[in-house]
A and B are shown apart, each in its own frame.
Chain A
Amino acid sequence: MGYLSSFAISASGLTVEKARLDATAVNIANIHSTRSIDGGPYRPIRVISGERGVSPFAQVLDTQQIASGGVQVVSVSQLEVPPRLVHEPSHPDADAKGFVHYPGIDHASEMINLITAMRAYEANLVALGAAKAMAVKALEIGGQS
């Protein structure tokens, strides 16, 4: 039974949580972006994650082979949120009525996402550390106790 898959599972978790942190950072950085690539105000993004190797995971473990479990980024989706309207007639991006369409980014939910992703990242690190501790201990098999 190898350790490499244990490390790979935790590493995939770290990658996905880092992507989540990146998404939150991009959302907060663009909180005042009135112009996006596809026109209109910036729309906040969310990382959608999914299980890696869903169906084979249990079978693979049953046959005591290398597990291909973990998590992966399935997609990065733009949220359909109404823009935040601010009355600024002198703004270059103001509409006919003098309203500027700012991105409808919710501070509170972004911060909650940030903290959740951070905690999940830490939990993955703990799992990685545990795998490392087991691997180090395995080197002592047959040594003097």
Chain B
Amino acid sequence: MLETTVSLVKTALDSDIVKHQVLAHNIANANTTDFVPYQLSFDSRLGQLQSKIKTGGQIDHADLSALFPRVERNLSAQGLNPKVALDLEAAKLGGNVLHYQAVIRAYNQMTSLLGIAIHEGRQA
């Protein structure tokens, strides 16, 4: 149980950093001509994983790879308006930082819970 949470936290933090790199790359190329922005996508296994969690199934390491996003060109933007929307990218960036901080806070709360169990309920 604990191991799953630790690997989940690790996957979440890593995918946040990848997301940040993709957003930073898009912003850096905001004025590059003919640049098609990148986006992240999750494969279809994510939906299966979600239903598995809902039904209370155990998550193994194979499931965790579904949580890691893939990097691909935002092809829907090609042709129509391939320009990078700076405001949108900055907004996603802000949300990403908050998510990163939230994951770390949740993890810290879990470890402090663990600390209470180690000290048999007494204050450390």
Residues of A in contact with B (beta carbons under 8 Å apart): 1-3, 5-6, 9-10, 12-13, 16-17, 20, 48-51, 57-58, 61-62, 64, 67, 69-71, 116-117, 119-120, 123-124, 126-128, 130-131, 133-134, 137-138, 140-145
Q: Are A6 and B70 in contact (CB under 8 A)?
A: no
Known A-B contacts A62-B71, A130-B97; A51 and B29 likewise in contact (beta carbons under 8 Å): yes
- Chain B interface category by residue count: 35 or more
Residues of B in contact with A (beta carbons under 8 Å apart): 13-14, 16-18, 20-25, 27-33, 35, 38, 68, 70-73, 86, 89-90, 93-94, 96-97, 100-101, 104-105, 107-109, 111-112
Known A-B contacts A1-B17, A13-B27, A69-B25; A145 and B86 likewise in contact (beta carbons under 8 Å): no
In the A-B complex, the 9 residue pairs with the smallest Cβ-Cβ separation, listed nearest first, are A13-B28, A145-B108, A69-B25, A71-B28, A9-B24, A127-B24, A1-B17, A61-B71, A1-B14
Known A-B contacts A9-B25, A17-B31, A69-B21; A62 and B104 likewise in contact (beta carbons under 8 Å): no
A116–B111 alpha-carbon span in the complex (Å): 46
Q: Are A137 and B27 in contact (CB under 8 A)?
A: no
Known A-B contacts A20-B31, A130-B97, A137-B101; A123 and B108 likewise in contact (beta carbons under 8 Å): no
Look across to chain B and name the residue whose beta carbon is closest to the beta carbon of A145.
B108
Q: Are A142 and B108 in contact (CB under 8 A)?
A: yes
A134–B90 alpha-carbon span in the complex (Å): 15
Known A-B contacts A6-B20, A141-B108, A142-B111; A71 and B33 likewise in contact (beta carbons under 8 Å): no
Q: Are A9 and B112 in contact (CB under 8 A)?
A: no
Look across to chain B and name the residue whose beta carbon is closest to the beta carbon of A116.
B31
Known A-B contacts A5-B21, A58-B38, A131-B20; A50 and B104 likewise in contact (beta carbons under 8 Å): no
A13–B23 alpha-carbon span in the complex (Å): 12
Residues of A within 8 A of B71 (CB): 57-58, 61-62
